[in-house]
Amino acid sequence: MPDHSEPDTALDAAADELYSVPPDEFIGARDAAVAAARERGDRELAKAIGRLRRPTKAAWLANLLARHRAAQLDGLLSLAAGLADAQRTLDGTALRQLSSKRHQLVAAMAREAGRLAQEAGDPAAEGVLRELQGILDAALARPEIAEQVRSGRLTRTLSYTGFGPEADPDAVPAPAPRPAPPEPERETERDAAPADDGAADRARRARLQAERDRRAEALTAAEDEEAAARAKQDTDEAAREEAVTAREDARRRVAELTAELEAAREQERTAATAARDAETAAKASARAVGVAASRTARAQARLEELDAQLSAASPAE
């Protein structure tokens, strides 16, 4: 993570802007900032911007709090000293009171971060809000994590279990390694060479220059390797978040389909009952038609018999 002691530098300005955008937009915004720096001819700035890491969703929520709720965040983190004192003195009453207050404030800050994410157009799932609570708990336990949270440029999801934060070592900025002290000249060489021997000085400078060139090449190779690793990490983290989102969408879809299936089954049961009732009614109607038809036939036969008798009894004309 870059040094933030001079917030007006071009790198700090770029970082502040990048860490304010939703994680899904980070890579595109970072690439655009790198391209802009290269167009201005500032290769060092472009390389530094390219090293900025894409934040996780939970880390982005913590950055939102640092930017938009700094006073409330400081109020929460101010509990750290009291918690540490209570733990050192084994003051159980104070520790219970402070722990209860911590849980309340952490939950409230997580809810507020959820509202900020909603306003930013990138709502956070409950699982992400729980990860944010883990970050805030870690910030209360470890001062160096609290500083990362306050910076508004957190990139990793951290948690605390009582033995330190569970995080990638890269999550905590490490100081730049001190340059190795130059090897002392061997006394035999110093004594053998005259003080005004220019050839010895030139040879020594040549050796130093060759060593510097070797170290510069090693630095370039290390930077290239780091850039490739960060790009791979960005890709993997993006894939992870996409997979989590897809899983949550699938779960919601399963719930919806389950509800639809149960509704369809209920409709099927109702329709089956109605079909059985209709079939029973149709059979009853068919029997009634048969009975009525028999009666009609008997009545027709009796009428025809009577007509025949009347015809026989009538006088012949």
Determine the average pLDDT of the residues in 110-133. 92
| Amino acid (1-letter code) at residue 173 | P
In this structure, of 81-90, 117-126, 161-170, 181-190, the range with the lowest mean pLDDT score is 161-170
Per-residue pLDDT tens for 283-298? Answer: 888 888 889 988 899 8
Please write the tens of the pLDDT for every residue from 26-63. 999 999 999 999 999 999 999 999 999 999 999 999 99
- What average pLDDT score do residues 213-231 get? 75
Q: What is the mean pLDDT of residues 148-176?
A: 61
pLDDT value at 213 more than 80: yes
In the chain, the largest separation of any two C-alpha atoms, in whole Å, equals 176
Could you tell me which of 29, 244, 245, 21 has the C-alpha nearest to residue 120? 21
Q: 85 or 144: whose pLDDT is higher? A: 144
CA 168 to chain centroid, in Å, comes to: 17
Contact 58, 128 (CB under 8 A): yes
Per-residue pLDDT at 174 exceeds 60? no
CA distance 285 to 293: 12
- Residue 225 pLDDT grade (very low, low, confident, very high; cuts 50, 70, 90): confident
Report pLDDT for 24.
Answer: 92
pLDDT over 60 (residue 182): no
CA angle (135 as vertex; 132, 140 as ends), nearest 5 = 130
Average pLDDT over residues 184-204: 61
98 neighbors 79 (Cβ within 8 angstroms): yes
Structure-token pair, residue 198: 């220019």
Q: What is the pLDDT of residue 197?
A: 65
Q: What mean pLDDT is predicted for residues 191-211?
A: 75
Question: Is the pLDDT assigned to residue 198 strictly greater than 70?
Answer: yes
pLDDT of residue 104: 87
252 pLDDT more than 70: yes
Q: Please report the pLDDT score of residue 221 as a whole number.
A: 77
The candidate with the shortest Cα–Cα distance to 156, out of 176, 141, 179, 138, is 138
End-to-end CA distance of the chain, in Å?
Answer: 132
Position 316 scores a pLDDT of 61
Strand partners, 160: 165
- 3-class secondary structure per residue, 207-240: HHHHHHHHHHHHHHHHHHHHHHHHHHHHHHHHHH
Contact (CB, 8 A) for 165 and 142: yes
- At 230 the pLDDT is 66
Q: Torsion angle, CA of 186/190/191/194, rounded to 10 degrees?
A: 160
CA 247/CA 254 separation, integer angstroms: 10
pLDDT digits (tens, 9 = 90+) for 231-244: 676 677 667 767 76
Q: How many CB atoms lie within 10 A of CB 45?
A: 19
Quick: pLDDT tens for 57-93: 999 999 999 999 999 898 888 887 777 766 666 667 7
Beta bridge partners of 165: 160
The per-residue pLDDT for 172 is: 39
Both tokens of residue 13?
């300005």
* Dist. CA 121–CA 124, nearest whole Å: 10
Q: What pLDDT score was predicted for residue 27?
A: 94
**Which residues share a beta bridge with 198?**
none
Distance CA(143)–CA(159), nearest Å, equals 13
Give per-residue pLDDT as tens, 259-273.
888 888 888 888 999
**Higher per-residue confidence, 196 vs 23:** 23
Q: Which helix (H) or strand (E) holds 252?
A: helix 198-313
Please say if the pLDDT value at position 183 is more than 80: no
More confident residue, 7 or 226: 226
Using a pLDDT cut of 90, give the percent of the chain over it.
Answer: 28
Kindly report the three-state secondary structure assignment for every residue of 74-132: HHHHCHHHHHHHHHHHCCHHHHHHHHHHHHHHHHHHHHHHHHHHHHCCCCCCHHHHHHH
Please give the average per-residue pLDDT across 216-228, as a whole number: 74
pLDDT of residue 311: 86
Q: How many CB atoms lie within 10 A of CB 114?
A: 19
Q: For helices 92-119 and 79-89, give the axis angle rounded to 10 degrees.
A: 150
